[in-house]
Amino acid sequence: MKLVDQVALITGGGQGVGRAIAKTFAQEGAAISLCGRTQKSLDKAAEELSTLGGQVLTSVCDVSKEEEVIQVVDHTAERLGGLTLLVNNAGVTGPTAPIAETTLEDWNATVAVNLTGAFLCSRAALKYMIPRRRGKIINIASIAGIMAYPLRAAYSVSKWGMLGLNRTLAAELGEFNIQVNAICPGPVRGERMEGVIKRRAEELGQSEEEVARYYFASTALKKFVDPDHIAEQALLLASSAGDSMTGQVFVIDCGYAL
């Protein structure tokens, strides 16, 4: 049990990567607070986690809204006895279009959730981490934050920005014994990737099968990333094994960015 006495807030925790991380953390003894935009997905995740025997808290929250973020973080700390782990996982895929055709509304909405949301959650969590000189922040970024990503500019820029936030937080918080690291997944198996493929196929006038083959062919391992493998990396960073790591970026992409 690597996370006994830890309290973890996982944004976007009702599905996909967030849900996989929540399950892994719960199995290792952490109390879990999940937030997301829909109560239905949160309830489903909480039902699964409850079978593991630990404490589970859920909150509907839009991480781009400062008041909602502060409320969720305070509620987590009050109900679960503090906050030691924050996983900034909430994100939207944003528009699939060339920059010349991307609307300001779509751009702002993407950056608001993916980047500003991580900033707001981190800032709110530090209220509890800094005084105790204990805490870890794990930012779920993307390989889109380390390479060009045509037709997905808003998403890519938000993830590049998250990596800048990651390094700056690490530099500022080291003196308080708080570690900050990022994970950059490649194409991850699941519903979100299916949606990405569908929208890209529509924009390019190709079939979904053609686009899926493109993504597969672009990976060295010829497969999509398993969400559980991202969760295992997050566990390493959250556990004592990650106590000497900060400001780092860990790529899990099946060789997509080679």
- pLDDT tens figures, 162-187: 999 999 999 999 999 999 999 999 99
Establish if 31 belongs to a structural domain: yes
pTM of the prediction?
0.97
Residue 80 banded pLDDT, cuts 50, 70, 90: very high
Which of 128, 155, 215, 256 is labelled catalytic?
Answer: 155
Establish if 143 belongs to a structural domain: yes
- pLDDT tens figures, 8-67: 999 999 999 999 999 999 999 999 999 999 999 999 999 999 999 889 999 999 999 999
- Could you tell me the CATH number of the domain that includes residue 12? 3.40.50.720
What backbone phi and psi angles, to 5 degrees, belong to 183? -120, 130
Establish if 215 belongs to a structural domain: no
Establish if 195 belongs to a structural domain: no
Establish if 194 belongs to a structural domain: no
When pLDDT is averaged across residues 87-103 and rounded to a whole number, the result is: 97
**Is 149 in the active site?**
no
How far are the Cα atoms of 26, 31, 238, 239 from residue 4, in angstroms, in the given order? 9, 8, 11, 10
When pLDDT is averaged across residues 219-236 and rounded to a whole number, the result is: 97
- pLDDT tens figures, 191-204: 989 999 999 999 99
How many domains does the chain fold into?
A: 1
Establish if 234 belongs to a structural domain: yes
Establish if 201 belongs to a structural domain: no
Taking all residues of the chain, what is their mean pLDDT, rounded to a whole number?
97
pLDDT at residue 53, as a whole number: 87
User: Where does the chain show beta strands of DSSP type E?
Assistant: 7-11, 31-36, 56-60, 85-88, 135-140, 178-185, 249-252
Inter-axis angle of helices 66-80 and 117-132, nearest 10: 40
For the cut 90, the answer to whether the pLDDT of residue 138 exceeds it is yes
Establish if 99 belongs to a structural domain: yes
When pLDDT is averaged across residues 226-247 and rounded to a whole number, the result is: 98
